[in-house]
Amino acid sequence: MNHRTYLALAIPLAISMITTPLLGVVDMAVVGQLPNPAYIGGVAVGTVIFNTLYWLFGFLRVSTSGFAAQAEGANDEKEQLLALIRPLFIALLVGMIFLILQWPILNVTLAFMSPASDVYEFASEYYSIRIWGAPFALANYVVMGWLVGRARIKLTLTLQILMNLINIILAIVFVKVFSWGVSGVAAATLIAEIATVLLSGIIIIKLLPQSFRFPSRGEILNPEPFKKMVAMNRDLMIRTFCLLVVFNLFTAKGAAYGTEVLAANAVLIQIHYMMAYAFDGFANASSIYVGKAIGSQDRDLYKRTVSLTFQWAIISALLITALFYLCKGLIIPLFTQTQSVIELIGTYELWILLFPLSASLGLVLYGVFVGATEAKPIRNSMVYALGVFLSVLYISVPSLQNHGLWLAFIVFSLGRSIFLVIYIPSLNRKLFPVMPVDGKTTKFS
């Protein structure tokens, strides 16, 4: 493998991943054209609620990708199918639980965030419609992870693009033509999520081998692989919980400085999401190659993947930073036309320029551990980074206010990179402890 083959996988994956946060981005961009910044605030708060719900179970996509990649590397058709069925069952179950508990979830979340009354109203309106897409959104996570793990990049990209096209078109029609406001963007997202699941089902059926036989309950719940999946998902869930603490605290603290600061932070955080998902494309490429290397016991492929991961984490960080700096005048007006919010974004945009350089290694090396289905280092590095975030938040916010909030976030991003890099040598030794060379054994170097 070389730079060309790595990028041939990473670039389409980056494009695909960038489209992932567009459901929230499009919703915010459409309502951002309305005159009242409370619309942006309401959608921002609503988006945080769904990020909380879905990201907490984001391991469904991530772990599915790792297990599918290893099954693909081992050329095991049955395990490839089980890598889809096991997490899909969990996704549908969790989605139904969200529907049953939808009102307690809303009330607890809004009580914690305490937004202004008009923001509260719009957030409730947005949430009450989008929540019905929970089973479909989580099912989409699993399918996307499975397709990525099997390196079906064109299909993944096609599904993502179609979902976002449906969302964009319907959001514009519902808001601009029918004047449905926040309800319109929520309904557009819901319809897009449902349509994507239906299309995914058709694709999966076409990918199944002719000799397909639905696995028995015993095969699905086989203790050994199921135990490993549950353990990995547990660690990834803790990792996601740490992320949610950071983002929810960030939003809640930002809301205390008024609706306009909340709106400015929300736009910058959406830009951050798009940057992070671009890195996720490189992480997924690394995950696929590492999974294949482990499945086929190819030590050289593993070493080369780790090397390219480090290199492209740095290169992509520089490219993303430069791209935002050069294009910020075009990007920011897409989210809002409110001049006071745009001016506040200009006040805090420096922090977003620092984000790619501070976060790149943590976001891209993450894929190496996912492909290896080794989530404990991911969990630990995130717990340590959360501790750093809370410390800086406590020290800096009282004096620096919203700048202190952003400082804590950037230090958190840097921390997750540093703490994860520390685990790479031990991962190398665990996966490939010895290598025969001329009748002797050598350690991984």
DSSP for 264-296 reads: HHHHHHHHHHHHHHHHHHHHHHHHHHHHHHHHT
- Both tokens of 100, joined, read 């049953």
Q: Which of the pair, 5 or 38, is modelled with greater confidence?
A: 5
For residue 254, what pLDDT is reported?
85
User: What is the band of 22 on the pLDDT scale with cuts at 50, 70, 90?
Assistant: low
For residue 21, what pLDDT is reported?
59
For residue 339, what pLDDT is reported?
83
Is pLDDT above 80 for 59?
no
Report pLDDT digits (tens) over 373-420. 899 999 999 999 999 999 999 999 888 989 999 999 999 999 999 999
Q: Which of 29-38, 56-65, 303-312 has the lowest mean pLDDT?
A: 29-38
For residue 19, what pLDDT is reported?
67
For residue 114, what pLDDT is reported?
77
Report the candidate in 137, 125, 145 with the shortest Cα–Cα distance to residue 66.
145
Q: Which of 204-208, 344-348, 363-367 has the lowest mean pLDDT?
A: 204-208
For residue 212, what pLDDT is reported?
67
Report the candidate in 312, 306, 427, 414 with the shortest Cα–Cα distance to residue 362.
414
* SS3 annotation, 337-404: CCHHHHHHHHHHHHHHHHHHHHHHHHHHHHHHHHHCCCCHHHHHHHHHHHHHHHHHHHHHHHHHCHHH
For residue 28, what pLDDT is reported?
67
18-27, 57-66, 105-114, 362-371 — most confident range: 362-371
For residue 89, what pLDDT is reported?
86
- Mean pLDDT (the chain) is 86
Type and span of the H or E element at 35: none
- Give Cα 237 distance to the centre of its chain: 13
Q: Which of 47-51, 138-142, 411-415 has the lowest mean pLDDT?
A: 47-51
For residue 436, what pLDDT is reported?
47
Question: Which residue matches tokens 């096609």?
Answer: 158
Domain positions in the chain are 3-431
User: What is the band of 313 on the pLDDT scale with cuts at 50, 70, 90?
Assistant: very high
Phi and psi for 434 in degrees, rounded to 5? -140, 155
Residue 384 burial (CB count, 10 A): 17
User: What is the band of 50 on the pLDDT scale with cuts at 50, 70, 90?
Assistant: confident
Cα 209 from Cα 202, distance rounded (Å): 14
Type and span of the H or E element at 441: strand 440-443
Cα 227 from Cα 206, distance rounded (Å): 30
Q: Which of the pair, 167 or 414, is modelled with greater confidence?
A: 414
Give me the residues paired with residue 271 across strands: none
Q: Summarize the confidence of residues 80-100 as an average pLDDT.
A: 90
For residue 439, what pLDDT is reported?
45
Report pLDDT digits (tens) over 190-234. 999 999 999 998 988 888 776 667 777 777 777 777 777 778 888
Question: Which residue matches tokens 């969302």?
Answer: 167
- Give Cα 298 distance to the centre of its chain: 29
Report pLDDT digits (tens) over 152-161. 888 888 888 8
Q: Which of the pair, 102 or 156, is modelled with greater confidence?
A: 102
Cα 414 from Cα 408, distance rounded (Å): 10
User: What is the band of 437 on the pLDDT scale with cuts at 50, 70, 90?
Assistant: very low
The answer to whether 203 and 159 have CB atoms below 8 angstroms apart is yes
Is pLDDT above 90 for 237?
no
Q: At what angle do helices 223-255 and 376-400 cross, to 10 degrees?
A: 10
DSSP for 81-150 reads: HHHHHHHHHHHHHHHHHHHHTHHHHHHHHHHHH---HHHHHHHHHHHHHHGGGHHHHHHHHHHHHHHHHT
- Both tokens of 65, joined, read 């990708």
Is pLDDT above 50 for 308?
yes
Cα 201 from Cα 123, distance rounded (Å): 31
Q: Summarize the confidence of residues 162-173 as an average pLDDT.
A: 88
Is pLDDT above 80 for 45?
yes
The answer to whether 99 and 137 have CB atoms below 8 angstroms apart is no
